[in-house]
């Protein structure tokens, strides 16, 4: 008998067709997600689950999956899944690392430049036909070239962001629980700094850590206070790493020059005070959103799922 798979949200056609070759698939065609009640009910007779980062796959949902053998998350982050509980139940969990590194690093740079050079504000100004002539002080931003970039979380994406910084002749410092070997630091032209030192000295701070109990509110009100008044903070990782209310306060008071956010503490809700600030650029969690990358993510997750259902070790098993 073919295994049964639940797909929580609309899936790209190629990945859906691939899954359907091997399994009986429920879902994957409708825009919008399932309620928790629907999720718990539909998962009951499924062997595999294909989910997105917006689906909270906690103990309650996992226990409802009586026959579940694999959960394939279509994202590199997996803080939406109780991996430890899944493991206790002998259920495999997979993610999609690697395929979204470059797109997310590109988006990071788009945000850095958008904040530093006030791109969205200037675009609005021009479209409102308010450009009446060149002025020496029109939309003055912050120089990026040659400044100090602080990277928090040096995984694949953090490293790809650092590589792009070379083109901007930046001095790159990083903070991560795993320090690089001296030789790799030298090769990459990067210097390790303790978090407080990184925060107090960087001109641009960008976050690429994963969300876990150690990184929740890593950028608390107290840590944000360490940053230079002229600094820019960018977060494309996970919202709860930054205390969003404290960030809004710091931006409103001018304690921080600007911020670029792609992720939020309570997605899709955004701290209301941020809407009224001109020194923050907000994006709707689109770090990996290119046709090519999203297609690669969907296919990687679908392949992981099928491998798990076949009893093989999935390519991207979370261990
Ligand atoms: C996106 O945020 C992801 O984790 O893939």
Tell me if 315 is assigned to some domain. no
Does the CA dihedral 26-293-300-105 come out positive or negative?
negative
Same domain for 73 and 107: no
Among protein residues, the one whose CA lies closest to atom 5 of ligand 1:
75
Task: Write out residues in the chain with pLDDT < 50, as ranges.
Answer: none
Q: Domain check: are 95 and 105 in the same one?
A: no
Three-state secondary structure call for residue 6? strand
Render pLDDT for 229-288 as a digit per residue (tens, 0 to 9).
999 999 999 999 999 999 999 999 999 999 999 999 999 999 999 999 999 999 999 999
Q: Are residues 59 and 180 in the same domain?
A: no
User: Do 35 and 116 belong together in one domain?
Assistant: no
Indicate whether 50 and 183 sit together in one domain. no
Tokens read off for 92: 């495999």
Given the residues 20, 26, 171, 267, select the one marked as catalytic. Answer: 267
Known active-site residue 276: no
Distance CA 228, CA 230 (A): 5
Name the helix (H) or strand (E) containing 191.
strand 190-192
Told to judge if 285 belongs to the known catalytic residues of this protein, a careful annotator would answer yes
Q: What pLDDT digit, counting tens, does each position of 113-139 carry?
A: 999 999 999 999 999 999 999 999 999
According to DSSP, residue 145 is labeled T
Is 238 among the residues known to form the active site?
A: yes
* Residue 316, domain member (yes or no): no
167: buried, middle or exposed (CB in 10 Å: 19+, 13-18, 0-12)? exposed
| Claim to verify: residue 47 and residue 135 sit in the same structural domain | no
- 314 within domain boundaries: no
| CA 180 to ligand 1 center in whole angstroms | 24
- In this structure, the number of other CB atoms found within 10 A of the CB of residue 73 comes to 28
Look up the domain containing 146 and give its range: 101-282
Whether 62 is covered by a domain: the verdict is yes
| C-alpha Rg value of the chain to the nearest Å | 21
Distance 218 CA to ligand 1 centre (A): 19
- pLDDT at res. 32: 86
Ligand 1 binding pocket includes 100 (Cβ within 6 Å): yes
On whether both 44 and 191 belong to a single domain, the answer is no
Asked whether residue 114 is assigned to any structural domain, the reply reads: yes
The answer to whether residue 153 is domain-embedded is yes
Stated pTM of the model: 0.96
Query: Looking at residue 175, what is its pLDDT?
Result: 98
182: left (phi over 0), alpha (psi -120 to 50) or beta: alpha
**What's the CA-to-centroid distance between 239 and ligand 1, angstroms?**
11
| Pair (296, 222) in one structural domain | no
Q: Is the CB of 155 under 6 A from ligand 1?
A: no
- The answer to whether position 9 is within a domain reads yes
What is the chain's percent helix, strand, coil content, to nearest 5? 40, 15, 45
CB distance 193 to 170 below 8 Å: no
User: Same structural domain for residues 177 and 125?
Assistant: yes
| Dist. CA 159 → ligand 1 center (Å) | 16
Residues 223 and 109 in one domain: yes
Instruction: Check if 209 has its Cβ closer than 6 Å to any atom of ligand 1.
Output: no
Helix (H) or strand (E) holding 41: helix 36-42
Q: Are residues 50 and 116 in the same domain?
A: no
Taking each helix axis as running N to C, give the angle between helix 101-116 and helix 156-165, from 0 to 180 degrees, rounded to the nearest 10: 50
Whether residue 79 is contained in a domain is answered as: yes
Q: Do residues 72 and 137 share a domain?
A: no
Output the domain CATH number for residue 95. Answer: 3.40.50.720
Cβ of residue 77 lying under 6 Å from some atom of ligand 1: yes
Number of separate domains in the chain:
2
For 11, residues 6+ apart whose C-beta sits below 8 A from its C-beta are 19, 28, 29, 50, 298, 302
C-alpha–C-alpha distance, residues 123 and 119, integer Å: 6
**In which residue are the tokens 């698939």 written?**
25
Q: Is the CB of 288 under 6 A from ligand 1?
A: yes
Give the residue from 44, 39, 40, 36 showing the smallest Cα distance to 27.
Answer: 39
- Determine whether the shortest distance from the Cβ of 116 to ligand 1 is under 6 A: no
Cα–Cα distance measured from residue 275 to residue 226, given in angstroms and rounded to the nearest whole number: 24
> Residues 238, 294, 296, 303: which is the catalytic one?
238
């Amino acid at each position: 008998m073919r295994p049964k798979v639940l797909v929580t949200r609309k899936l790209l056609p190629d990945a859906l067709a691939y899954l359907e070759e091997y399994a009986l698939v429920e879902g994957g065609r409708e825009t919008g997600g399932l309620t928790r009640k629907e999720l718990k009910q539909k998962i009951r007779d499924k062997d595999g689950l294909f989910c997105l980062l917006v689906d909270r796959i906690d103990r309650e949902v996992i226990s409802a999956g009586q026959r579940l053998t694999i959960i394939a998350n279509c994202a590199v982050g997996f803080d939406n899944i109780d991996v430890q509980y899944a493991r206790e139940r002998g259920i495999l969990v997979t993610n999609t690392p690697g395929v979204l590194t470059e797109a997310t690093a590109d988006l990071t740079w788009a945000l850095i430049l958008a904040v530093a050079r006030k791109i969205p504000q200037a675009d609005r100004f021009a479209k409102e036909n308010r450009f009446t002539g060149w002025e020496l002080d029109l939309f003055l931003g912050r120089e990026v070239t040659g400044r100090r970039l602080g990277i928090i979380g040096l995984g694949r994406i953090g490293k790809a962001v650092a590589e792009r910084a070379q083109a901007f002749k930046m001095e790159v410092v990083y903070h991560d629980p795993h320090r690089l070997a001296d030789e790799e630091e030298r090769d990459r032209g990067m210097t390790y700094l303790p978090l407080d030192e990184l925060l107090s000295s960087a001109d641009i701070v960008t976050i690429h850590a994963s969300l876990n109990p150690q990184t929740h509110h890593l950028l608390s009100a107290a840590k944000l206070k360490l940053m230079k008044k002229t600094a820019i903070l960018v977060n494309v990782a996970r919202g709860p790493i930054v205390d969003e209310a404290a960030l809004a306060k710091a931006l409103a008071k001018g304690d921080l020059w600007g911020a670029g956010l792609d992720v939020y503490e309570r997605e899709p809700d955004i701290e209301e005070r941020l809407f009224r600030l001109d020194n923050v650029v907000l994006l709707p969690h689109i770090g990996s959103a290119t046709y090519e990358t999203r297609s690669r993510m969907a296919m990687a997750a679908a392949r992981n799922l099928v491998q798990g259902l076949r009893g093989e070790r999935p390519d991207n098993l979370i261990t």
